[in-house]
Amino acid sequence: MVKVVGFFIMVYLGFLPGLVGAAEAVTSVGLATPDELDLVGQSLRIVGFLLVLIVVAALVNRYGRRLHNHMGSNTGIELLTGRNLGQGVGVRVIRIHKRAWLVGVSKEGVSLLAELDEEEVNAVNGVGK
């Protein structure tokens, strides 16, 4: 049975020309019946598709935030920096075009704390240190 599983892994990965010829070769040697080959082949396909799905999900999880940040920058709203002050509470510095604000963020909502001038925005960004 181990030989048959290994054989079908090679077929699934494309190392052998085709599934039909491979199935005939295995059955002619007497390693497995056609019903067993079909069940093993379908199982390997399912496992293969699940592995591909897991890899795609991991890539989306890893690179999705970067893509979201790049796409979000087209809206004109830019998050310059932020700090969490406690559970569910923090401050953020945002810029929309040439104006910038310091806002407080909590579970209840967002509150405007101050409008920042260009000098304060540069200090937040570390420019001019």
Tell me the pLDDT tens digit for each residue of 83-99. 999 998 999 999 988 89
**pTM tops 0.75:** no
Note the pLDDT of residue 90: 94
Q: Reply yes or no on whether the pLDDT at 74 is more than 70.
A: no
Contacts of 17 (CB under 8 A, 6+ apart): none
Region 116-128: what's the mean pLDDT? Answer: 80
Backbone angles phi, psi at 85, to 5 degrees: -100, -15
Region 40-57: what's the mean pLDDT? Answer: 88
Q: Which residue, among 35, 8, 32, 33, has the nearest Cα to 22 in the 3D structure?
A: 8
Contacts of 81 (CB under 8 A, 6+ apart): 92, 93, 124, 125
Note the pLDDT of residue 1: 43
- Partnered with residue 77 across adjacent β-strands are 96
More confident residue, 47 or 37: 47
